[in-house]
Structure 1
Amino acid sequence: MSPELLALDRNSYLLLEELSAPPSPRSERRRKNGGLFYFSDAGIARFFTGVWRSHYDSLQARIDKLQAVLPPQYPYLPTISDKAAPENLRVYIRGDKENLGDEAPRRFLAVLTEGAPAAFKNGSGRLELAEAIASAQNPLTARVMVNRIWGHHFGAGIVRTPGNFGKLGEPPTHPELLDYLAARFLADGWSIKKMHRKIMLSATYALGNDYSAANYDIDPDNRLLWRASARRLDAEAIRDSMLFVSGKLDLTVGGQATPIDGDKNFRRTLYGFFSRFKLDPFLRLFDFPDPIATSDQRIATNVPLQQLFYLNSAFVRKQAQALSERLGAQLPEPGKIQAIYQILFSRAPTQEELQYASEFVSASPGSWPQYIQVLLSSNEFNYVN
């Protein structure tokens, strides 16, 4: 270190270091994309005193005032574009970019092509790749898609490994049905809506969950679909259902994503803002997939912490209170219990349920929210049955 630097006091040295340091990638992005009235003071503002500090503060106040009247920034997404002269890449041996293997020509997967696949010639080949994936001649894409739609309705796909249709995956339980649905999907122009309608109008979808000892002995895992399997709602549906019955669900379509833990956010969970690095505790508790990784299907756990959530969550208590207020204090007790069951379960309570409810709320006049909170935690509310 030079004698001149050694002679500097600490503040002067830190200032020189900050002014001399190259901008970080983040600050450089902010400089380029910061919009109107963006500036960086390189950290020197803390050294201002007296008239200079007053002048700096007045300028900062003007900037804040100008930024306050700017319209909200429109949403945007990063995009990619083809290189002017696309080229084939060489294989990274064991994923090491320093250890290059043979050149890999741009073309469709040989394992899914009859004969040698033709090389892509149009730019990078992304468009040709998309066309090959969505081609009616591709035997895989339509089957994978209808299998996932089926799994959405029944809890498990016809192929129970939706992300693996290869030799390491499970074979289809109903191969002819899978082929039929894939053919219909193509014939209907890849219409997801028509496929949903086709499945939901089927006799299989309309099955109840009645138990049969004879059928259970033959197929205990219900792979042949002789009954409807009970399935817990996904995390998003649990939150949306509670907001819906409380009368608070905001059905506005589109708009900016907002965190779901806000007290004023009553929008569908579909429009929630999710951090890849700090997932909301409610979502994690109810098996929301890790946003950092891909997930081909949801799992459904049943752990004590989930019931503790229903007992202690401020969100659940607020929705129970809102439903109680929605029904009003003037409704007579039997009628209020009937209304709660219709709203939560779309049925009337049994005589036994009516008696238990009446005894509970009669013991404490202000216990309607607690009673509703118990029903919100029930399997009947949280499971598709």
Structure 2
Amino acid sequence: MKTKAVRLYGKKDLRVEEFELPAISDDEILAKVVTDSLCMSSYKAANQASDHKRIPDDIAGNPIMIGHEFAGEIVEVGANWQSKFTAGQKFSIQPAIYYEDGPVGVLSAPGYSYKYIGGDATYVIIPKDVLVQDCLLAYEGPGYYPASLAEPLSCVIGAMHANYHTTAGSYVHKMEIVDGGKMAILAGVGPMGLAAINYVLRREDKKPSLMVVTDIDQTRLDRAAELYTVEFAKERGIELKYINTAEMADPVTGLKELTGGKGYDDVFVFAPVAPVVEQGDAILGFDGCLNFFAGPSNTEFTAKMNFYNVHYAYTHIVGTSGGNTDDMKEALEIMTAGLDPAGLVTHIGGLNAVPEATLNLPNIPGGKKLIYTHYDFPLTAIAEFEEKGKENPVYGELDKLCKKYMGLWNVEAEAYLLENGDKL
């Protein structure tokens, strides 16, 4: 079986290549990748190459496939796994595996460490490392792109589960957000913030009574309010408020007033900006938990924290990075039940667009860049479909289908692209 894949040979050295995959063993699975979502982690990996903790030292001679937020369809199952998986099943991958016998020890991961598995490829071999840890996950929902976005959604799910609270006189930490409590999502209308809003509104347990979402960009706030409405939140038993803190004379006082002056039980910070972190700390209520979700690239990043409140008001802080396999399973289940993560997606592209897009990811505005690996077309913003449709009817039809869903990518658009797009 031939595959086309984006392989990493060294720092900023990404190449689209076609080569032969070996026959699978009894402990492996051959799979077709349909879509991969580009991640900043891949940008970091491509820039650091073998200096990255998950990437082997010998990639100059044994390049690895990149991409770890992918989904597709099983093609062939090795003998030892035929009781669990079958050809034709749709799948997603939990890439954060920890396997002692992997190519780089306990830090091995698809998209970083393997010659024959990564999301930016047409066909891959899923190794025993992934299978024995139950990290190949079946997906039964509509389309493919939701399963590709299960990994980023799992990061949000993991953050909610990682928050904790205490009971006076006890040292036991009660994990999770406060059910019926007050929640704030700061700098919360970027792609991952939108995912958090969507998840909170859709989950069946552990809901806040008040969810305040802030930003300083009114256009983005208005778009978030259009996608995830105050009215829908009310139906779900949540009072939802979108707040532009740039328009507040005193954001801390103003945000606390929304809680009756008591402060917030759960605060999530979605930007690695010191004033935003400090604002989050300042609006915590008694036993409030601040989750620093946004990972900084600056290793010296710091922000002030009120340690008087740590001591006397029992405030605390956690940081989360990624979700575990249970979070991935929950993401797939909630998407199968109706949650659509399309609010994350702003660009669509083909396999040939991956090297340039990956290496320039921080400079490309918007949210997730979704790659359809069997197709050849440039990375294109959904907002550009209408203009491009004047010359290419495929873009014109995609524009119509996205406008049908409030400008969002959707299963209908995906199906049309898979049928009519330019194949490699």
Q: Aligning the two structures, in what range does the TM-score lie when normalised by the shorter sequence?
A: under 0.3
Higher strand residue share: 2
Given the two structures, how large is their TM-score scaled by the length of structure 1? 0.24
Higher helix residue share: 1
Greater RCO, 1 or 2 (C-alpha within 8 Å, sep 6+):
2
- When Rg is computed on C-alpha atoms for both structures, the one with the higher figure is 1
